[in-house]
Amino acid sequence: MAGLVIGLALGGEIAAQPVAPRFPPVPAKPRIIATTDGEIDDRCSMIRLLMYANEFQVEGLIHSSSRFHWLGQTWSGVEWINAQVDQYARVYDHLRQNADGYPRPEDLKRRVYVGNIHNRGGPDRASAAGR
User: Would 5 be classed as within a structural domain?
Assistant: no
Is residue 66 pLDDT above 70, yes or no? yes
User: Would 6 be classed as within a structural domain?
Assistant: no
| Total number of residues shown for the chain | 131
User: Would 88 be classed as within a structural domain?
Assistant: yes
Lowest mean pLDDT of 33-42, 76-85, 117-126, name the range.
Answer: 117-126
User: Would 9 be classed as within a structural domain?
Assistant: no
> CA of 57: how far to CAs of 14, 30, 36, 49, 70, in Å?
46, 6, 18, 11, 28
User: Would 110 be classed as within a structural domain?
Assistant: yes
- The whole domain housing 116 covers 29-130
**pTM: predicted TM-score of the whole model, two decimal places:** 0.70
Look at 5 and 98; give whichever has higher pLDDT: 98
User: Would 16 be classed as within a structural domain?
Assistant: no
Give the model confidence (pLDDT) of 98-116 as tens digits: 999 999 999 999 999 988 8
pLDDT score at 15: 57
User: Would 107 be classed as within a structural domain?
Assistant: yes
What is the DSSP pairing of strand 57-63 with strand 112-114? parallel
pLDDT score at 39: 85
pLDDT score at 1: 46
Contacts of residue 18, Cβ cutoff 8 Å, sequence gap at least 6? 2, 3, 4, 5
Question: What domain count does the chain have?
Answer: 1
Give the model confidence (pLDDT) of 42-60 as tens digits: 899 999 999 999 999 999 9
Give the model confidence (pLDDT) of 10-30 as tens digits: 555 555 666 666 776 666 899
User: Would 20 be classed as within a structural domain?
Assistant: no
**What is the distance between the terminal CA atoms of the chain, rounded to a whole angstrom?**
40
> CA of 3: how far to CAs of 10, 17, 40, 92, in Å?
22, 9, 50, 39
